[in-house]
Amino acid sequence: MKSVLAVDVDAAHNAVTKSCSPISDQNRDAESSLSLLSTHPVPLCAPSSSPSALEALLTGSKLMGSKLNKIRGGGAISEAHTVNGSGTCKGALVSTHAKGTVLTLSYFALWFALNVYYNIVNKRVLNTLPLPFTVATAQLGIGAVYVSLSWLLRVRASPRISTTGLKDLLSIAFYHGSGQLFTVLSLGAAAVSFTHIVKALEPFFSALVAAVCFKQVFKPQVYLSLLPVVSGVAVACANDVSFGWLAFLTAMASNLAFALRANFSKGALFRYRKEGKSSMSPANVYGLVTILAFFLLLPLTCLWEGVDWRPSWRVATEKIEGTTLVHQLLLSGLFHYLNNEVMYLALDNVHPITLAVGNTAKRVFIILASLLVFRNPITLTGAVGSGVGIAGVLIYSLTKQYYDTH
């Protein structure tokens, strides 16, 4: 046992010594040292009967901690935390992990809150000002102003893209604008809970678009996992007292538009990473898509609802004050944009499976919040169907992720 420990410590010590040599490519040697350490495992705590081995181990740990901190610009584990005979080096790791967990949970909590608040405020605006084209376009415009100001004020790095690149984003912007318009139309025509029950079918449309447009065929088990989603949503819609064909068809159209947006966005982001365009981050791509979608939707809105602006505004301001209505509209646009921003932050910190669970939970919170705020009636059969459909989304996400990684 003692000889095995000595061999392992010697191997670790040689690896650390090599990584600390003054050569130009520090990162490569550090990776080599870590690889050697993984192939020659060293116990975290050496027996007290082997003081020389323990001393060599601690010396190696100190050198390795110093080297990694230098390479990474000062990591979360300092030399003082790394070298501790009592084994308290785990304290820094636990502390860093705890902070990361708190930050991630904060993102999810903010994401849920923004979604719930957006849907409630958006429905109130539509109840007062029944101009879905105008509301959808205004929300995109508010998001466009927000992200443009963040670039102009250098709150974030602005994207650098050519005219050809902007043309490539036009199709994504078209799908994004269409999805936003159809969603607002559905929310205006029915209860918030009904729209989100139908929108639980979005994974079905994503799978369909991937197969038809990108020839990406999944395992049969993945498609079978969609059956609970389709059946649950069908039962819920059939028994929903707020069912209406306009709300149903526009919610289905929004599912198709957002599925197309997601698939084409994924392809664009992959190209930008491959070409090394660091300024074209997911958040910046979403910002550009929002701006383009606003300008695409604006002419159609002017033609369709332009003549109704003055009389509809006059009727709306008889119900509530004009400043209150403007305030609600501004908040709905801002929270619509911010909830997507926070979603990207959450995705950057968790595995896609975790995000899928969060997305499912988000719809549950939105439905429950809308039922509490607007007192929309729901039958027992509709509630069961909704639960089956939403649970089916989670099953689909987990099944797809499993077969994607195996």
Res 82: pLDDT: 44
CA distances 65 to 84, 90, 116, 276, Å, are: 12, 13, 45, 31
Q: What H or E segment, with its residue span, contains residue 286?
A: helix 282-305
Q: Are 161 and 280 in contact (CB under 8 A)?
A: yes
| Separation CA 287–CA 306 (nearest Å) | 26
- Whether residue 26 is predicted with pLDDT greater than 90 in this model: the reply is no
Domain boundaries, the chain: 2-94, 129-404
Percent of the chain with pLDDT over 70: 72
CA atoms within 13 A on the CB side of 328: 20
Mean pLDDT across 149-163: 90
The pTM (predicted TM-score) of the whole model is 0.70
* 88 pLDDT tier (thresholds 50, 70, 90): low
| For residue 96, pLDDT beyond 70 | no
Mean pLDDT of the chain: 76
H-type helices in 20-89, by residue range?
A: 26-39, 51-72, 79-82
More confident residue, 386 or 11: 386
- Residue 143's pLDDT is 95
Query: Above 60 in pLDDT, residue 389?
Result: yes
> 201 or 307: which carries more pLDDT confidence?
307
Q: Which residue has the higher pLDDT, 206 or 19?
A: 206
